[in-house]
Amino acid sequence: MKLTNRSKVVSNKEMTFMEKLYLPAIVKGMGITLRHALEGSKGKVFAYPEVQKPRAKVWRGLHVLKRDEEGRERCTACGLCAVACPAEAITMTSAERTKDEKHLYREEKYASVYEINMLRCIFCGMCEEACPKSAIYLTDRLVDVESNRGSFVYGKDKLVEDVNNRIDITDRQSELQKKAVK
Ligand code: SF4
Ligand code: SF4
């Protein structure tokens, strides 16, 4: 059954003599590169990283673990984000909140360890859709460049939002999520 009209039939036809030369294709490619270079001032080419292309408000980038209005971590370590993750990128360890920690964690159970492997993540957004506590959202931030694989496993130190530097995610919240936030 055909669900969309986006599929293309792949051709296995023999290459022509001109195609086998590759030169016309190379010249055509260089022409496209030159055109993009000349059109740089028109906003199509960016001198990254000094100049960054504006990203959409709902762009799916680096995650944030949100705090509530009192600065307490929202995550209750229910594990639904990890179950929903198709890349199996999320792992966590839950712990029980003590009486003295009520100002730190919103629920009685919290994630003492919460990690996302950014090399596995495909930034699909399933984790934020699965979360019943409005605790995890993707943002328009980028994952840092690292020089070893282990550094791409982001823990709470990189994921939980800074209480003094909150991240506004209202633009990407669905109506259901906005209602769920208390
Ligand atoms: S964005 Fe997708 S792949 Fe990445 S952690 Fe969330 S659910 Fe997993
Ligand atoms: S981020 Fe949300 S879904 Fe994931 S463990 Fe925490 S509360 Fe559960």
67 and 33: one domain?
no
Is the distance from the beta carbon of residue 80 to the nearest atom of ligand 2 less than 6 Å? yes
pTM: 0.77
Tell me the binding residues.
75, 78, 81, 85, 121, 124, 127, 131
pLDDT digits 0-9 by tens, 103-147:
999 999 999 999 999 999 999 999 999 999 999 999 999 999 999
Ligand with minimal distance to 125 CA: 1
Mean pLDDT taken over the chain:
90
CA 128 from chain center: how many Å?
Answer: 10
Let me know whether 35 and 73 are in one domain.
no
Tell me if 1 is assigned to some domain: no
Whether residue 72 contacts residue 106, with contact meaning beta carbons closer than 8 Å, is answered with yes
Closest residue (by CA) to atom 6 of ligand 1?
127
Is it the case that residue 151 has pLDDT exceeding 90? yes
b/e sequence 85-101, b meaning 16+ C-beta within 10 Å: beeebbebeeeebeeee
Is 99 in the same domain as 150? yes
- Give just the sign of the alpha carbon dihedral 122, 123, 124, 127: positive
25-70 per-position pLDDT tens digit: 999 999 999 988 887 666 667 788 898 888 888 899 999 999 999 9
Cα–Cα distance, 113 to 159 (Å, whole number)? 11
